[in-house]
Structure 1
Amino acid sequence: MNLETPALIIEEGQVRRNIAKMAGIAAACGVALRPHAKTHKLPEIARLQIGAGSKGITTAKLAEAEIMAEQGIDDIFIAYPIVTEAKLERLATLSRRINVIAGVDSLEGATAMNETALRRGVPLQVRLEVDLGFGRTGVPYDHALELAAAIAKLEGLQFRGIYTFRGFFMNGAPTLELEAAGLEEGRLMVELAERMRAAGLEVRDVSVGSTPTAEYAARVPGVTEVRPGTYVYYDRMQAVLGSCTLDECAAAVRVTVVSRPEPGRLVVDGGSKTFATDVGPGAPPLHLIGYGHILEEPDAVLERVSEEHGMVRVPEASPLRVGDVLHIIPNHICSTVNLHSRVYLQDGGQMRELPVAARGAIT
């Protein structure tokens, strides 16, 4: 295939190995695996995950779930509060077609959802999101029992349990102590579930675990499900965290050197429209250098990006020249995928193009 750059290349064999690895971890721990599809946004990859043993998938937005359902994925958890009338109507319609669970984190949101469920005659399944210190959505841990009890009384809703997203955070800050963070995440959620059950609530789901913590949180007795996402491709951030090796990273952006204006600097044809910049250089605890790892020149640094240009610092003796092709593992693959309308799956000498079906599905 005569491939123009920049282009996002996915090594299909490595994807399959990554899928099998996480499926094995979940099976060994006796927990369900419900991977987050926000990383790949591809129904084909979701089907590979389900074929390897995943219970279903997780999405961030309702639109992602709708796209996946259109392609035959029939068990989806939407890990995001759905509160507007139009979206609640869409949720009710989707719930007639497939098994779908939605996230809630407020009584106002749950009440609106309950009104839609009763009006449409469609019971809606919900999980309560709990904030363990990440500071995003989620009810504060100490208020979760009270809110769960109120939600469980709403006649149109079926309260399924609790979930959290904590990432590699512990004690309110990023950490490289992934095992400790994962075990604490699982323990806190199981203890909360036990208090809810003691108060008379039925808690079937205790869902935890991102890519860096899933294998550890899954070990905690009482955890029922883990929801890693990035593991399917991995990225430079996960490699620095220790979740994987660079060799396990299945995705790289192929770029071309378009300029070498001086010996220590060259320019590639991928900038902020090509590489995600949400995980940038320098921030603790990762202290990443640049916006990606350049496979052909590990000592080079993608140190600055504008929309269409990537400025790379190279050793002055580097043999790279205009027209050379490079492959760069991005810092954060999830946001990078969302910048590309298509990806190229490579398997040995074969390459095929796939549209990123759920790209930009933000509603």
Structure 2
Amino acid sequence: MVFAELEIVVPTFLVDTQKCRKNIVRMQAKAQQHQLAFRPHFKTHQSEKIGFLFRDLGITQITVSSFRMAQYFAQQGWRNITVAFPVNILEIEAINKLAKQLKLHVLVESTETVELLNSYLQYMVGAYVKIDNGYHRTGMDVVHIEKISTVVEAIEQSCFLNFAGFLSHAGNTYQAKNKQEIAKIHLNNIKQMNLLKNTFLGKYPEMKLSIGDTPSCSLMERFEGIDEIRPGNFVYYDAMQLLIGSCQLEQIAAFVACPVVAVHPERNELVIYGGAVHFSKESMDHHAYGICFGLVVEELVKGLQLMDGCYLKKISQEHGVVHVTKEFLAHKPVGSIIYLIPVHSCLTANLMKEDTLYLE
């Protein structure tokens, strides 16, 4: 990838497809090493082109975060999809259309949802019970075994649902500060999921345990009892993953190119055309910079390099204010381009679908 050869006039999301492929190969090899099914989450890239990279490597089953996204990838021929978001029963028409044409899995966490699905489904659907192992976003707590059993039994009694197993997402690893904290969260997740397996496997021998967060899947080597992993962010990585140690700089495959529109040397700041509508307002607490919204990189002869002391300090809708060093500011006049690693590539990719450039 050669930044200097690009003709950038507006904020542009740059994707290095060679790095994407290397990231996919690495994660696929890890899944194979641990005898895990690999069902990558496509919500990060939401891209037909990146989807082809997975398909070319023999991957046939995927995860998405909405039924609309499932429809998008179904149109591209994907026939085994898990929608890893609690069922929105108001989308039952879309659910039935998908279930008619492919192997569909959904998430449930209450008998109410199961009963509604049973009332309106027309085709068979696999159902995972969503488990909360500490993230506290959604899902059932493992300590409530009786409630979980009630939901599993309701699925089994349904005419149109098959009990697929238990699914969790340790999203709290994204708030970890180092590998040790990620390991603690991951091992707790593994422990809790295996408690469920030990309880239910005898009666449901086909059930699976599915987990999927990029920090754990990138760094950990213990997956005892787990059947499937569903990481997504790893295909691009981002500044957050770099900060917590999930990846190295050379593995990051997505950047935002932004024009410089104003220079304020008295404040060591540049203003860029690139704000919340491009990056999102996701921030991270950097150990040296405090709250920031992206990290500045430059492409040198030896490869990409983080520019020390240069970071996206604040953003509004279209504006971005970048704190820089005097040395960096000296060669970035109005009309030049700077390149940044977004804090959360999933959100940035979603916002910049119409301004994405795939680089070979």
> TM-score over 0.5 for the alignment?
yes
- 1:305 corresponding residue in structure 2: 315
Superposition deviation, residue 215 in structure 1: 4.6
Amino acid at match of 1:230: N
Superposition deviation, residue 241 in structure 1: 1.2
Give CA-to-partner distance per residue, 1:318-350, whole Å, 9 cap, x none. 312212211100010001111113310111xxx
Q: Is the 8 A contact 2:261 2:272 kept in 1?
A: yes
Which deviates the most, 61-70 or 305-314? 305-314
Give CA-to-partner distance per residue, 1:128-148, whole Å, 9 cap, x none. 100111111211222223322
Superposition deviation, residue 216 in structure 1: 6.0
Between Structure 1 and Structure 2, the one with more helix by share is 2
Q: Is the 8 A contact 1:253 1:328 kept in 2?
A: yes
Superposition deviation, residue 218 in structure 1: 6.6
- 1:128 corresponding residue in structure 2: 129
| Residue 212, structure 1, aligned to residue 215, structure 2 | yes
- 1:351 corresponding residue in structure 2: none
Q: Is the 8 A contact 1:26 1:218 kept in 2?
A: no
CA separation of 1:182 and 1:55: change in aligned 2, threshold 3 A: farther
Superposition deviation, residue 229 in structure 1: 0.4
- 1:62 corresponding residue in structure 2: 67
CA separation of 1:16 and 1:158: change in aligned 2, threshold 3 A: same
- 2:294 corresponding residue in structure 1: 292
Give CA-to-partner distance per residue, 1:263-320, whole Å, 9 cap, x none. 3111011011111212x1438x998541111003432121111111111122234312
Superposition deviation, residue 235 in structure 1: 0.2
Superposition deviation, residue 186 in structure 1: 2.0
| Residue 330, structure 1, aligned to residue 339, structure 2 | no
- 1:222 corresponding residue in structure 2: 225
- 2:79 corresponding residue in structure 1: 74
Superposition deviation, residue 50 in structure 1: 3.2
Which deviates the most, 179-188 or 57-66? 179-188
Which deviates the most, 308-317 or 209-218? 209-218
SS in 1 for 2:338: strand
Q: Is the 8 A contact 1:212 1:238 kept in 2?
A: yes
- 1:139 corresponding residue in structure 2: 140
Q: Is the 8 A contact 1:209 1:218 kept in 2?
A: no
- 1:315 corresponding residue in structure 2: 325
- 1:89 corresponding residue in structure 2: 93
- 1:346 corresponding residue in structure 2: 359
Q: Is the 8 A contact 2:134 2:170 kept in 1?
A: yes
Q: CA RMSD in A?
A: 2.2
**Partners of 1:25 and 1:91 in 2: CA distance:** 32
| Residue 238, structure 1, aligned to residue 212, structure 2 | no
Question: Mind listing any 5+ residue stretches in structure 2 that lack a counterpart?
Answer: 1-5, 299-306
SS in 1 for 2:339: strand
Q: Is the 8 A contact 1:272 1:307 kept in 2?
A: yes
Q: Is the 8 A contact 2:86 2:107 kept in 1?
A: yes
- 1:41 corresponding residue in structure 2: 46
Q: Is the 8 A contact 2:258 2:338 kept in 1?
A: yes
Percent identity, aligned pairs only, is 28
TM-score (norm 2): 0.88
SS in 2 for 1:79: strand
| Residue 197, structure 1, aligned to residue 198, structure 2 | no
Superposition deviation, residue 49 in structure 1: 1.6
